[in-house]
Structure 1
Amino acid sequence: MFEAVIDFLRDFGAWGLFIHSFADAIIFPIPAFFLQVSLSLLNPADAIWLATVGYVACLLGTPVGYFIGHFLGDSILQRLLKKDALEKAQTLFTKNGEAAILIGAFTPIPFKVFTIMAGAMKFSIWKLIGYAALGRAVKFYAVGFLFYFYGRAAENLIDSYLTYIFLGIAVLLFIGIYMKRKLQKNRSQEAGIQKENG
């Protein structure tokens, strides 16, 4: 069924990717990445334009997914998401919401899990949009630039290496956020000690 929907959207080119990417942030279970690759294979010269279309649509869909989660909460998560995907997302958000969104931009878990989860857990919508903008830009434009510069040969690069590249970026971002939080915690502790001594 979902493959038929993707095939249908492919016929509409960039508009089909726009719809798919928008829905990816709200309800559709198949990541827009697959349609982006398929369309970029057809015409690599349009790959960066396709990346831009998918990226903008995803950002427009992000607040919609957020408000669905905000108002409908856990009930819709349990109906729309598989149990294992839901549990992974909940664990990530409990530990670190910012890292969850950034890492979610690079994982095979559909992005809707993170937009809806952010709303259900009352995470800041502005932080969600900001981190989504960063993470999704890397994912969409990495594919776009690969096809633009390497043409159809980029498909082999994506199949062989892109998952590892995304994983590496996600790890680096997670480490960066962890170090930032640790520094902030140390500074607040030092400020508290100085206040007590003063």
Structure 2
Amino acid sequence: MLEQLTQFFMDYGIWGLFVVSFLDSFILPIPPFFVQIGLSFIDPQASLRIALIAFAGSVLGAPIGYILGKWLGKPILQKLVPEKWVVLATEQFAKNGDAAVLIGSFTPIPFKVFTLLSGVFNYSLVKLLLFAILGRGLKFFLIGILFYLYGKHAKVLLDDYLEVSLLGVAVVVAILWFWWDRRRKKRS
């Protein structure tokens, strides 16, 4: 089924990529990278434009995930989880939400998790968008640059190293984030 849905969006080219990237931010179970990689493989010279389309769709979909989380998420969460856990999770998201959203926006974890949780836990929409721009931009343009520079050979690199590379970048960003945050708190 995943392959059929991916092929459906591939058939619509960059517009299909825009739609899948947009919907991935709040509901669709298909990561847009399959479509981005497929389109970039077909036309490596257009890979930066393809990355821009995926990036735009993803960032534009983020506020919808946020609104859905705010509107539907909290009532559902309160029915499923004890109140003390909701309070604790809200406190933790307020404390560590910046790092969670930034790191989560380019890891293999579905982006919708972070847009929805941002709404549920009353995280700043402005910060969500800022970190989505940074993280999603890094992820989509990294793939676009690889195809632009290495052409069709980039697919071999991505097949072998994409998940490990993204997790590695996430670890580096997390370390830098926590270092910067500690330094900022010491100055206060």
Structure 2 letter corresponding to 1:178: F
Asked if 1:43 corresponds to 2:13, the answer is no
Deviation string, structure 1 residues 24-61 (Cα, Å, up to 9, x no partner): 10101121011111111111111111100000011100
What displacement does 1:111 show? Answer: 0.5
TM-score by length of 2: 0.86
Between 31-40 and 69-78, the greater mean CA deviation after superposition: 69-78
The count of aligned residue pairs is 178
Q: Check the 8 A contact 2:36/2:51 in 1, yes or no.
A: yes
The residue that corresponds to 1:171 in the other structure is: 171
Asked if 1:116 corresponds to 2:104, the answer is no
Judged with a 3 Å threshold, the aligned counterparts in structure 2 of structure 1 residues 16 and 177 are, in CA distance, closer, same or farther, namely same
Superposed counterparts of 1:5-154, under 5 Å:
5-74=5-74, 93=93, 96-154=96-154
**3-state secondary structure, aligned to 1:156:** helix
Identity of aligned residues (%): 47
What displacement does 1:163 show? Answer: 2.3
Between 41-50 and 117-126, the greater mean CA deviation after superposition: 41-50
Deviation string, structure 1 residues 105-162 (Cα, Å, up to 9, x no partner): 2322211011001000000001000011000011101111111111111011111223
The residue that corresponds to 2:85 in the other structure is: none
What displacement does 1:175 show? Answer: 1.5
Q: Check the 8 A contact 1:48/1:144 in 2, yes or no.
A: yes
Q: Check the 8 A contact 1:147/1:154 in 2, yes or no.
A: yes
Instruction: Indicate the structure (1 or 2) with the bigger Cα radius of gyration.
Output: 1
Q: Check the 8 A contact 2:24/2:31 in 1, yes or no.
A: yes
**3-state secondary structure, aligned to 2:108:** coil
Judged with a 3 Å threshold, the aligned counterparts in structure 2 of structure 1 residues 150 and 182 are, in CA distance, closer, same or farther, namely same
Judged with a 3 Å threshold, the aligned counterparts in structure 2 of structure 1 residues 76 and 61 are, in CA distance, closer, same or farther, namely farther
* Structure 2 unaligned residues grouped into runs of 5+: 79-88
Deviation string, structure 1 residues 44-85 (Cα, Å, up to 9, x no partner): 11111110000001110011110110111245679xxxxxxx
**3-state secondary structure, aligned to 1:109:** coil
Root-mean-square deviation (Å): 2.2
**3-state secondary structure, aligned to 1:96:** helix
Q: Check the 8 A contact 1:106/1:139 in 2, yes or no.
A: yes
Structure 1 letter corresponding to 2:71: F
Structure 1 letter corresponding to 2:31: P
Structure 1 residue runs of 4 or more that deviate by more than 3 Å after TM superposition = 74-78, 92-95
